[in-house]
Every structure is written in C-alpha cells, then in structure tokens.
Chains A and B, each alone.
Chain A
Amino acid sequence: MKRRSNSIGILILIGIAIVAQGIPIRPVNADTHIQFVDVTQEAGIRWKHVDGRSGQKYFMETLGSGAAFFDYDKDGDPDLYFVNSAPLPGYVSQEIPTNCLYENNGAGTFTDVTEKAGVGDTGYGHGCAVGDYDNDGNLDLYVTNYGVNRLYRNNGDGTFTDVAEAAGVTEPRWSTGCAFADYDRDGHLDLYVVNYIVFDINENPWCGFKEKGIRAYCEPDNFIAQSDTLYRNNGDGTFTDVTKTAGIYNTTGKGLGVVWGDYNNDGTPDIYVANDSTENLFYHNTGDGTFEEVGFRVGVALSEDGAAENGMGTAFGDWNNDGWLDLTVTNYAQQTNTLYHNDADGFFTDATAMTKTAQLTYPYLGWATAFIDYDNDGYQDLFVANGHLHENLAELGQEGTYGQRNLLFRNNTANGTFTEVSESLGPGMTLEDVSRGATFADYDLDGDIDIVVTNSNTAPRLLRNDGGNRKNYLQLRLTATNGSTDAIGARVKITTGDLTQTREVRSGDGYLSQQDLTLHFGIGDYERVDRIEVVWQRGTQQFIENVPVNQVLSLEENRSE
C-alpha cells in the first residue's frame, strides 16, 4: 500500500474550459510491480456470508450476494456494505445473518455501524445498488431479496430508513440484480430490478442422481422465469411500475446481473441483463420512455455459436478506448465468458476468442466482473470472480473444483488482447474461494483500485492493491445540479496525449454489486490531463483542461447550464 502524498483537490467547474492550477504533481515511478494483499482481518472486517444451508439444496444458496462501496456519510472515503442471506428450513444456528455496513475510518480500517445505521436487513439478500433517488445529496441504498426488497433512504445523519413500501418498490418476487439510472432524463433516478425465477420455498424439488441418492442443486431449467421490473421515479419519493408500458415485460429471462450503459452514444442509458440459461436481454432506450429488446439483433444475446449460456454477471467498459462501450458477461463452467466488442454501428462482435479471454475462462464458473484499470496504465483491465456452485462436483461427475481462483486479465492495449496475470499479482489474487460478488474502490485513497470479493457462505476478501499507484491516476467525483445529484449516467471523457478514456458514473453492475461512484482513471506516465469533458445526465457539457494528475477532483455541474 502506498498512501497518496497530496491532498484531495476540489475544483468546482464554472466555465466551459478551466485550467487547473497549483496542485502538486506526483513523480512517475517506473516500477510496475503490483500485489493484491488480503487485508480483510487487519481492516477490521469480521462479517461473514451465511447462505442458510441445511443440506436440502435450496436453489437460492447458490447465488451468494453482493456488496457496495459507497460514501454514505460523505466524508470522502468509500464505506462498505455487504448483503447477507438468511436461514433456510432446516438451518441450525443461533446466529442470525444480517446485512452489514462498515464505515471507512480513513486509516485502512472499518467500523461496523450496521445497527446505528439501521441497514441490517435479515431477509434472504442478494443484490444492492446505490443512488440518490430523492436528490437530497445523500446516497440511498436498494437491497434485493428472495422476498420483499428494501429501499434504505439515507437520512443524512448516519442513519437510514426503509421506505420501500411507501416508495412502492418492495418487489416481493425473487430479485437479484438491481441498478438505478435516469432513463427518461427527468432528473430523478429510476430503478431496474432483475427477477430470477419462480420458487416456492415449500416445494423444493429434489435434483441430482436419484438412483445413487446424490443430491445436487437444481438447474435454472427446472424453474419458470419471471419478468424484471422497471420502476419510474415519480419525483415525489415514490415510484411507478412501468415494466409493461416501457416495453420491459418479458417472462423468458432468468436474470442475475444487470448494467445500464449508453451503448450507442445517443445520450440515453440502455439496459443489459445477463440471464441464467436463457437469452440475455438488451433493451435499447428509444428516448421516448420506452425500450426495444434488441439483444439477438445486435449480437449480445447468445454465444458465438448461438447458444444461450448461463449468464451471471455483466459489465460495460470501453476497453479499447474508442469511445464506445464494450460489454462482458460471465458464464458457467465449461462455457467461456463472453467479451463483446462494440462496433460503433449499433452492433457488437463476439471478441472473446480474438481477445484471448476464451480458453482461460472456460474451466471457471464466473460471477462478478468489472473493467478496472488496476495498474493505472490508462487501459481498463478485466476482473472476474469465480467459484463453483456444487461443493460435491466429483460426486456429480463434473470437472473442476468448488473453490476457484479469480482472474485478472491485463489489457495489452496495442493488439486488442488480454493476458491473464493474476498469478503474478500476489497471494490475494491466487486464493481459491467460492466467490460471487465484487466491488471496487480506492478505499485507502492511495490512488489505485482495491477489490472486495464476497464469497459464498464464508468471509469476504478485501484485496488491497499495493503498487497500482506507481503510475499516475485521476479520480473524479461528480455532483450534478441539474439532475440526480449523484451524477449517475454522466459520461466523462478524458484526453491525455494520444490516450482518450471514457467512463460513465454507474449504479449497480457486475454481479449483484455496486462499485464506488468515484471515477478512477489510470493516466500512465502522463503528468497532466489535457482535457476532461463531462456530459451530464441531461445532456449539458462541461470541459476542463490541463489538469494535474494524482488527485481526487470533485466536479460540480454548472448551475447556469
């Protein structure tokens, strides 16, 4: 770990183009040796995931849960939230699993503030997403459950209140992924909730080798899919279910991961949903409040050979820095994860094999995924969390192991390929856990991206990035004044010499998780950023030029625009 030497720079954007001055420039370090170190214990994280198992192989045990990095108390460092499962019939323990909020102490440690904050939900939890849905300047939290979901409104005083019922977003079905975005650009965050399958806890089917008495978790094919839900924010603290009128209603998808992103650069966010064993769904935002499902047509619904795979997590990211969002989906073992290249013409090409990510992901069962620039070279790398869902694989005659190492593909920049480098990244990246969710933030404010991985039925891992900051970086915190204050949906393009990077502020992605809303850009060896261009949610643009690197820059939307 390396602490950042300079203080956080705060710059309020006023005009079209501003030259930043007076902020120290950190020297470039040529050493790129990077290690991820497991610091879970020393950071004070004691929370454990409990899947509530009792040997009866309830299907929900397999999904695990997500986590969120978000600065709930606005003190400048990302805090950490974990979603937990709950006891299932037959579970024997005194311990009642709860969700958990850790406040970042700012010195590399965390303090459990769950009880005080009032966010210790005891439902059978899966996913979470963050957004300031009521535009009061505080980040709120949505949690999905097998059962009623929660919307925790941030009271701004370190406490939260569950307002899901009053807001009309309880969604009592089996929900998994979730994400906020202002799809109709009215200045209020809307909410997409992914629903998985129809499952009655009282009718748990017996799957596996009946003749040998070997029980296994069922497969998604054993269950009926159910439609996801799109909630439109009414702007008064309540939401309206617009699933059908917006064109989202679809009972074919068994959804898990979800991500919003503007794939065609038309200024409106589109929705991609990774489905488990059914075609992935891609909703193109038509701009008039409705969506058109285009997954098959644009080439992101299926594998290269037309197979519906077991989609788990998903993420958008411009990995080739061409200004168009590419897409990735994690899949089951003996399927490759898929990397789709955005062709900038409304279509995607399956680039999995060409990017050299196919064979390496084939043996693993992938869940969380994210494009992150772990080495600050200005190109987004690709992280994948892995772990099987059957602990008795050998008995079931399946290949692989229950615990699996996670993968980190380094972006080779020049030739459009990736190289899997996790083995060279220290002990934290070679652990063989049964991983599920993951969230990303520079929690120790040292200028590189750290990783939290949730693991099924055990403790999570906080993997501190040591050395990623040896190249330069720039972090941006956006505050909107003309829309949702958290700036979710804003798009930032920064140019440094011949390097141009594009990011969006995004709520909920990967697998059931939320990464920090602060945008992190690796800048490589450049010492100044030539130009920052921000396109805010409602379409207004602002620029800033000649910005020193290695700082956290807070940008506020120009009120006059």
Chain B
Amino acid sequence: MSNKGVRFVAFLLIVFVGPAWDAAAQTSEDLYAHGMKAAQQGHYTQAIRYFQHAIQRDPTSAQAYAGLGTVYMQISQFAEAEVALKQALDIAPGLLQAEANLALLYTRTERNAAAIDLYGKLSRDHPDSLQIQVGLATAYQKASRFAEAIDAYHRTLNLSPKLAEAMTNLASCYEAVKQQEQAIRYYTSALAVNPELSMANGNLGAIYQKQGELDKARPLLEKAIRLDPNFTAASYRLGLIASKHREFQRAVDLYRRVIAQHPDHIGAYYNLAQALFRLKQAAEGRRAMETYRRLNAIAQEIDTRERAILLEPSNPRKQYQLGGTYEKHGKFDKALEAYQKAVKLQPEYAAAHYKLGKLYFREGRFSEAENAYLSAIAVAPEQAALHAGLGAVYYVQDRFEDALAEYKTAIVYDASLVHAQVGIAVIHHRRGEFEDARAAYQNALKLDADAHYALNGLARLYLEGTSRRGWGTQSLPPAKRAAKIQETVALAEKAVRLAPIPQYLQTLALAYFQAGAHQKALKAIQTAIEMEPENSAFRETWAKMKEADEKTK
C-alpha cells in the first residue's frame, strides 16, 4: 500500500523461460530442464539443486544461472538471486530471462531507478512484451514517477485491453496526480472486467467518500472489505461514512478494526474518540483521544524532522537528527535508513556510524555492526562507547578475546563505563572464570549500584556457584551459605525492581527457590511466563520448581 493509502496491485510475474522437460537427461541442459520443471511445480529447493548441478556440469551455462537466480528470487533470497542473475548476464549479455528477472528483483528490493533503467532497455528491445511493460509501469509507479507510469500502463493496456490489474494501477496513478475523474474511469473499467478486485473497489470507494458521494462509496467499500478483510483504508473510509450516517457503534467497530491492523493510525483514533463521545462513552472516548494525541505528537515530531531534510537535503546532521527521532519512536528501519544517509553524506560522521552499529547489532546484522563500529573508531578512536559497542558485537559472536580487548580499551578511555565492566564480567562468567567475573560485576556495581544487568549477572553467578564445586555458596559453611543466598535474593529483587523484565524474574525465581521460598519462586516464574508465554526455558523452570515443590511436600 502506498503512503497515501491507495493500494496498487502487485501482479508482476517471474519469468521462467526454458526448454521442455526430459526425464532421462543427465547433461547440464538436462539438469537445467529438471530444475525448470521443479521450479514450475513449486519445488524450489529441488530446483536450486538441479540448477547448481547444471552449473557444476557446465560453468558457462547462462541459462542455469538464470534459472537459479529466478528461483532464489521466488523464495525472496534476493542477494543470492542477484549474484546468479548477474553471472548469467556476464556469460550471456542480454539474456532475456536474466535481465527481466533482474529488473523485477530491483523493483522488489526498492531499487526503482535501476529497475526503470533495465526495464526501459527491455521495453525498447521487446516493445510487445506484456510482462516488461507491466514491470516498467510498476517501477515508475513505485518511484512516484506517475506521468511515466501512466504512459506505461496505457501501453500495457494496448497490449492487453482487459487487464483489470493494470487498469487499477493506472487509476491509482491518476489519483496520485489528482486526476480524479480519470481515476474513477479506470477503477470503474477494472471493476467491469473483474468486479471482485478488492483494491479497485476500495480505492474507488475511497474517492467517492472523499468527494462526499457517500451512497456511491458505501457499497464499494463494503465489498472491498468483504474481499479483503485486511484492507485498512477501506475499513477506515467506511467508518467515516458510518459516522456521517450517525451509525456510531458501527463506526467504532470499524475504527477498532483499523487500529488492530494499523496501531499507529492517527485518523482512526481521532474518529474513534469522536464516535465514542457521541455514544456517551466518555471515558473510552478520552482514552482514544489521549492515544490520538500521543501518536499525533510523534507524527508531528517526525514530520518536522522530515521537512527539515526537504529544506537541507545535503545536511548530514539533519539526517542524523531524523534517525534519532525515528529511533526514539521505535521506527528502527527508517532510523537505519536515515543514519545510512548521514554517513553517505559525511563518511567521517562517527556518531552516525555508532548509531548504525547499535541498530545493526539490534537486528543481528553483526558483520555490518562490526564495520560500522570500526568506521566510527577510525574517526574517533578514543570514544569508549564505540569500543564497548564493538566488544558486544564480538561477544555475541563468541569472539571472547576480541571482545575482552575492546571492553578493556573502552575502560582505558572511560573507567566509569559500566557496560564495559559488565561485558568483561559476562565474558569471564561464560568462560567459568568466576572470581574474575565476580570482581568485574562488583566493579560495575561500584560504578553504578543500580546497574540492573550487573545485579542480575552477579545473582546468576552466585546461583550457578551452588552447582559448581569449589566455587560459590556450595563450598561455604551453612551459615555463610544462607547469608550468600540472601544476598543473591537481594540482588535479584533489586534487579527486578529496577527493570521488571522476564529474564530477571527467572533469576529471582531461582534465588527464591534456593532460599526455600517456593511459593514466591513459583509466582515470579509465572509472571515471567505471562510476560513471555512462548519462552520454553521459563516453562521448564516452572515445571522443575513445581515438581521439586511437590516432592518437598
């Protein structure tokens, strides 16, 4: 769905071009044919194997590479697909299957300019190819080059006058350039060909709703939702009509449906509040109003940042600030994009590299995180936080020596960096170097007595000591052992108090259990399970505790 709420139809087809199936084949060509057959039947893993074998037999088989790339694209492995398709084109420049699918790949991966270039070339070479015209039109549409998209869709319709999806997309392009009458014309034509096209129903209904033609809009929107219950824009527009017709309960139901599908939908919250006030459900109305205000404030903050970039598109600082705003409001994909633009504009922008490192790390893209931190360190080698961040990247990849080195470097530059101290502690902990781990955790807590991750880590360390000979409470005399267990409970309780996250609750449950407070332990682990119902480790802990508790009874 586009950002204006107008949907367009994705009806690009992957191009499989190949010879007929021959079961007895063993040559590269035969393996290729097997691959094609498997791909056409939807057996993609099998197809990949066939194509790979075909390439092994004949590394110059452009068709096999093209087939392989096509299958990868079918299963959305775009990086592998791109490599294979480009290899095919290296071997056989101009190979239709490879070029067409590479263009499609560009469209799917939002590289619209590249898609337009390639489709443009293909369109000149194959002006009568429906799929290429559709591809070109779609690429233009995705790039918001609506005038060219309109031309391309018209060419598509010249080739296939009854293609309802092309009519729908053409109509949505007309909508984008505010030619409402043309949009109505083509949506109507699309529906004449295929009345069951949800997007044409919904988009046409939305136009009529905006024009105040509520009687025309209503049945179209109703139908769109019947065909596609997840058509958010149609539900929203129908809600507005229900409000106008004073069917406020129906409107409330529709707005709630919209919010369920799109929790940030400001308009739905606004109109939900209005409808609730009309129904004299003041308390609920106020709640919806408060949510509206919160979301609206976020939207306005982002809007302000985005407009600042329109005025100064080459200013890396503005991109950085936009990234920060996105990040603050949990829009991490967009934050990443903004930080990437910032470093593209200013390659030595250490703060932006640092932010990229953090976000890549968050997404588990460790190699990119490492590169980002290294880029930042190259610019600002004495920034402790950069080394601590890089240490974390190494740690999660079990590169403990590298991680330790980075954490220690971080502490050299900033001895008060708690994260680095805890990082060191955790590495020692993982390695079974318990005394070193304890010392590091305690160092961290000296720096910040409320460092909940250090509190939890130390509690865990003590708990594990009970099951390890020669270390921890296990080796202590009973009185000292009891005191140590109480200390563990206190650490875990404080960690939970400071940050009630399920992992800390699990630690607390274990501590309580060891202290003999079974009911408290069970309650704590139950709370953790409620917070993360899918966490099997929590359920396992609960089962073991329950079993042990039953036995003691």
Interface residues of A (CB under 8 A from B): 207-211, 219, 221, 296-299, 302, 304-308, 347, 349, 352-356, 358-359, 417
Question: Does the CB pair A356–B296 fall under 8 Å?
Answer: no
User: Given that A209-B311, A296-B289 are contacting pairs, would A304 and B214 also be in contact in the complex, using a CB cutoff of 8 Å?
Assistant: no
Most buried by A among B180, B211, B274: B274
Q: Are B240's CB and A306's CB within 8 A?
A: no
B16 lies within 8 A of chain A by Cβ: no
Contacting pair A305 B214 (CB below 8 A): no
Q: Which of B216-259 contact A (CB under 8 A)?
A: 240, 243-244
Q: How far, in angstroms, from A297 to B280 measured CA to CA in the complex?
A: 11
B273 is an interface residue with CB less than 8 A from chain A: yes
CB distance from A383 to the nearest CB of B (A): 21
Say how far B314's CB is from chain A's closest CB, in angstroms: 6
Give chain B nearest CB distance to A320 CB in angstroms.
15
Asked if A211 meets B312 with Cβ closer than 8 Å, knowing A353-B209, A354-B214, A359-B211, the reply is yes
Beta-carbon contact of B311 and A208 below 8 Å: yes
Of A298, A306, A355, which is within 8 A of B292 by CB? Answer: A306
> Does B266 sit within 8 A of A, measured CB to CB?
yes
A347: chain B residues at CB < 8 Å are 274, 277-278
A and B contact pairs by CB, cutoff 8 A, 20 listed: A210-B312, A210-B315, A211-B313, A211-B315, A221-B304, A298-B277, A304-B267, A305-B270, A306-B267, A306-B269, A306-B270, A306-B271, A307-B266, A347-B278, A353-B209, A354-B212, A354-B214, A354-B244, A355-B212, A359-B211
Shortest Cβ distance from residue A509 to the other chain B in the assembled complex, whole angstroms: 26
Report the bound CA distance from A352 to B273 in whole Å.
20
The answer to whether the Cβ of B210 comes within 8 Å of any Cβ in the partner chain is yes
Please judge, given known A-B contacts A297-B277, A347-B277, A354-B212, whether A305 and B267 are in contact too, CB under 8 Å: yes
Measured CB to CB, the closest approach of chain A to B195, in angstroms, equals: 25
Say whether, besides A208-B311, A353-B212, A354-B214, A299 and B274 are in contact (CB < 8 Å). Answer: yes
Q: Point out the residues of chain B lying under 8 angstroms from A352, CB to CB.
A: 212
Asked if B285 CB lies within 8 Å of chain A CBs, one says yes
CB distance from B177 to the nearest CB of A (A): 11
Task: Decide: A358 near B212, CB < 8 A? Known: A210-B311, A297-B277, A299-B274.
Answer: yes
A307 to B270, CA, bound (A): 9
A306 with B314: CB separation less than 8 A: no
Is A349 touching B267 in the complex (CB atoms < 8 A)? no
Q: Which residue of A lies closest to B208 (CB)?
A: A353
> Please, which residues of chain B bring their CB within 8 A of the CB of A296?
273, 289
Known pairs A211-B312, A221-B304; A306 contacts B210 (CB<8 A): no
Once the chains are docked, how many angstroms separate the CA of A210 from the CA of B210?
37
Q: Given known contacts A297-B277, A347-B277, is B296 in contact with A306 (CB within 8 Å)?
A: yes
Whether B212 contacts A302 by the Cβ 8 Å rule is: no
Give min CB distance, A344 to chain B, whole Å. 12
Contacts of B266 in A (CB 8 A): 305-307
- Cα–Cα, bound, A354→B209 (Å): 9
Rounded to whole Å, the gap between the CB of A179 and the closest CB of chain B is: 27
Chain B residue nearest to A349 (CB atoms) is B244
Q: What DSSP secondary structure best describes chain B's contact surface?
A: helix
Chain A residue, CB-CB nearest to B5: A305
Residues on B with C-beta less than 8 A from A305 are: 266-267, 270
- Please report the C-alpha to C-alpha distance between residue A226 and residue B225 in the assembled complex, in whole angstroms: 45
Extra A-B contacts (12), CB below 8 Å, given A304-B271, A306-B292:
A208-B311, A210-B312, A211-B312, A219-B307, A306-B271, A307-B267, A349-B244, A353-B210, A353-B211, A353-B212, A354-B212, A358-B212
Q: How far is the CA of A208 from the CA of B312 in the complex (A)?
A: 8
- How far apart sit A417 and B213, CA to CA, in the bound complex (Å)? 11
- Chain A residues whose CB sits within 8 angstroms of the CB of B311 once the complex forms: 207-210
Residue of B nearest to A356 (CB): B212
Given the complex of chains A and B, what is the CA–CA distance between A296 and B273 in angstroms?
9
Q: Which 4 A-B pairs have the closest CB atoms?
A: A306-B270, A353-B212, A354-B212, A305-B267
How many whole Å from B507's CB to the nearest CB in chain A? Answer: 44
A298 contacts across to B, CB distance below 8 A = 277
Bound complex: CA A114 to CA B267 (Å): 50
Bound: A308/B304 CA distance, A:
14
Q: Which residues of A contact B296 (CB under 8 A)?
A: 306, 308
In the complex, A235→B271 CA distance in Å? Answer: 44
Cα A432 to Cα B519 with chains together (Å) = 80
In residues 285-344 of chain B, which contact A (Cβ within 8 Å)?
285, 289, 292, 296, 300, 304, 307, 311-315
Q: How far is the CA of A559 from the CA of B274 in the complex (A)?
A: 45
List B contacts of A299 (CB < 8 A).
274
A460 vs B307: C-alpha distance when bound (angstroms): 34
B residues less than 8 Å from A417 (CB atoms): 212
B298 to chain A, nearest CB (A): 13
Instruction: For the complex, give the distance between the alpha carbons of A187 and B136 in Å.
Output: 73
What separation, in Å, do the CA atoms of A308 and B300 have in the docked complex? 10
**1/0 contact string of B183-222 vs chain A (CB within 8 Å):** 0000000000000000000000000011110100000000
Residues of the A chain whose Cβ atoms lie less than 8 Å from the Cβ of B244: 349, 354
Instruction: Say whether B211 contacts A358, CB under 8 Å.
Output: yes
CA of A249 to CA of B421, assembled, Å:
51
Chain B residues contacting A304 (CB-CB under 8 Å) are 240, 267, 271
Interfacial chain B residues near A358, Cβ < 8 Å? 210-212
CA distance A307 to B313 in the complex (A): 26
Q: Which residue on chain B has the smallest CB distance to residue A347? A: B278
Q: Separation in Å of the B309 CB from the closest CB of chain A?
A: 11
The CA of A353 and the CA of B300, in the complex, are separated in Å by 25
Query: Contacts of B304 on A, CB cut-off 8 Å?
Result: 221
Collect the chain A residues with CB atoms within 8 Å of residue B277's CB: 297-298, 347
Q: In the assembly, what is the distance between CA of A211 and CA of B316, in Å?
A: 12
Query: Which chain A residue shows the least CB distance to B273?
Result: A296
User: Chain B: which residue is nearest A353 at the CB level?
Assistant: B212
Query: A211: which of B274, B292, B314 is its contact (CB, 8 Å)?
Result: B314
Shortest C-beta distance, B396 to chain A (Å), equals 41
Of A209, A219, A307, A356, which contacts B312 at CB under 8 A? A209
Residue of A nearest to B180 (CB): A359
Q: Which residues from A are CB-within-8-Å of B214?
A: 354
A210 to B312 alpha-carbon distance, docked (Å): 6
Q: Which of A219, A349, A417 has the most CB of B within 10 A?
A: A349
A308 partner residues in chain B, CB cutoff 8 A: 296, 300
The smallest beta-carbon distance between B296 and chain A, in angstroms, is: 7
Which residues of B have CB within 8 Å of A210? 311-312, 315
A210 to B318 alpha-carbon distance, docked (Å)? 12
Q: What's the Cα separation between A60 and B119 when bound, in Å?
A: 51
Residue of A nearest to B272 (CB): A306
Residue of B nearest to A363 (CB): B178
Query: A172 CA to B260 CA in the complex, in Å?
Result: 49
- Taken together as a complex, chains A and B put the C-alpha atoms of A296 and B212 apart, in Å, by 22
A352: nearest residue on chain B (CB-CB)? B212
Q: Which residues of B contact A353 (CB under 8 A)?
A: 209-212
Nearest A residue to B293 by beta-carbon distance? Answer: A296
Q: Give the complex CA separation of A356 and B212 in angstroms.
A: 7
Closest to A296 in B: B289
* Distance, CA A513 to CA B214, complexed state (A): 36
> Which residues of A are found within 8 Å of B292, using beta-carbon distances?
306
Residues on A with C-beta less than 8 A from B278 are: 347
CA distance A296 to B304 in the complex (A): 23
* Chain A residue, CB-CB nearest to B269: A306
CA A308 – CA B244 in complex, angstroms? 20
Inter-chain CA distance A304–B268, complex, in Å, is: 10
The residues of B that contact A207 with a CB separation of less than 8 Å are: 311
- Chain B residues whose CB sits within 8 angstroms of the CB of A208 once the complex forms: 311
What separation, in Å, do the CA atoms of A353 and B289 have in the docked complex?
Answer: 24
B312 — which chain A residues lie within 8 A by C-beta? 209-211
- In the complex, residue of chain A having the shortest beta-carbon distance to the beta carbon of B303: A221
| A298 vs B273: C-alpha distance when bound (angstroms) | 10
CB proximity of A427 to chain B, nearest CB, Å = 28
How far does the Cβ of B134 sit from chain A's closest Cβ, in whole Å?
Answer: 30
In the bound complex, CA of A305 to CA of B206 (Å): 13
Q: State how many angstroms separate the Cβ of B546 from the closest Cβ of chain A.
A: 50
B248 to chain A, nearest CB (A): 10
Which among B209, B240, B277 has the greatest number of chain A C-beta atoms within 10 A? Answer: B277
Most A CB atoms within 10 A — which of B267, B270, B296?
Answer: B270
